Amino acid sequence: MKFDTIKVELEEELGIATITINKPPVNALGSDDYGELYEALYKLSKNKAIRVLILTAEGEKLFVGGSDVKEFTALDGETGPLYTERNNNVRAYLYNFPKPVICALNGSAFGGGVGLAICCDIRLCVPEAKFNLGEINMGILGLTQHFTARCFNGTARKMVYTGERITATEAMRIGLVDEILTREDLLPRARQIAKEIASKSPLAIQYAKQCMIEAEKNSLDKIDFEAACIGKLWATEDKNEATSSFLEKREPVFKGR
């Protein structure tokens, strides 16, 4: 499988596949990149030899630096909801992927990067990784459902409301990451876990994942409501001001309209 911004490695004899995101300088993903990720996930889901997936990225600073903000300029109340729905569909496919997914965060994850990580089953990161939900700084919102389903509710609300960054240690405390490892140990540990999972009965693993997804459904049944709220925000002047100020590297002036 060949793509522009991701690399897919198959180790069918071990039952492991690895997707590596590579879009310098900050691995900010646009619509086409999400499309590539969806295609790779779809093809891997049909490969019976693959039992576990590892998701990681190139670079030492960022796993995924959020969405490509340049795309926001053209989004409004009509085109914005389509953008949101498309990205939500990719995250939903990752969350419901029929095989366990281990996210090896080689660096910080912001906005949509946190969205990808939170949809994985197991999350490992390096000590210097930072995390935030920066959508609020762009005059929109995101990840209110998945984040509150898998992390402590109070901290989740604070991160959604403020867009503040948290450390790897805090991320582990609230359940956003499961282990913190040195950069040298990150991928070896991910592979160790993947090999252990791949050695189990694939049917038992498949049903175990389905059961745990079912257990979280009550927390995730309002994603359509979240999407509708985001759709309204795409049409606001505040969204346009947030995008302009970000690209112009200045402080935004929000007017509540």
Q: What would the pLDDT profile of 78-110 be if each residue is shown by its tens digit?
A: 888 888 888 889 999 999 999 999 999 999 999
Tell me if 139 is assigned to some domain. yes
Tell me if 120 is assigned to some domain. yes
Of residues 222 and 191, the one with the higher pLDDT is 191
In 3D space, the residue among 3, 116, 75 whose CA is nearest the CA of residue 233 turns out to be 75
pLDDT of amino acid 109: 97
Give the domain CATH number at 175. Answer: 3.90.226.10
Mean pLDDT, the chain, integer: 90
The CA distance from 60 to 1, in Å, is: 25
Structure tokens at 39: 């295609």
Tell me if 112 is assigned to some domain. yes
Tell me if 200 is assigned to some domain. no
231's CB contacts (< 8 A; 6+ apart) are 77, 80, 81, 84
Tell me if 206 is assigned to some domain. no
Tell me if 208 is assigned to some domain. no
124's CB contacts (< 8 A; 6+ apart) are 102, 103, 104, 105, 177, 178, 179, 180, 181, 186, 189, 190
Tell me if 126 is assigned to some domain. yes
pLDDT of amino acid 245: 86
pLDDT of amino acid 80: 82
Q: Domain residues for 52?
A: 6-184
140-178 residue pLDDT tens: 887 777 777 788 778 888 888 999 999 999 999 999 999
The band of 226, judged by pLDDT with boundaries at 50, 70 and 90, is confident
180-190 residue pLDDT tens: 999 999 999 99
Output phi, psi for 60, to 5 deg.
-115, -5
52-70 residue pLDDT tens: 999 999 999 999 998 887 8
Number of domains in the chain: 1
CA dihedral over 116, 56, 33, 2, signed as positive or negative? negative
101-141 residue pLDDT tens: 999 999 999 999 999 999 999 999 999 999 999 888 888 88
Tell me if 189 is assigned to some domain. no
The CA distance from 174 to 180, in Å, is: 13
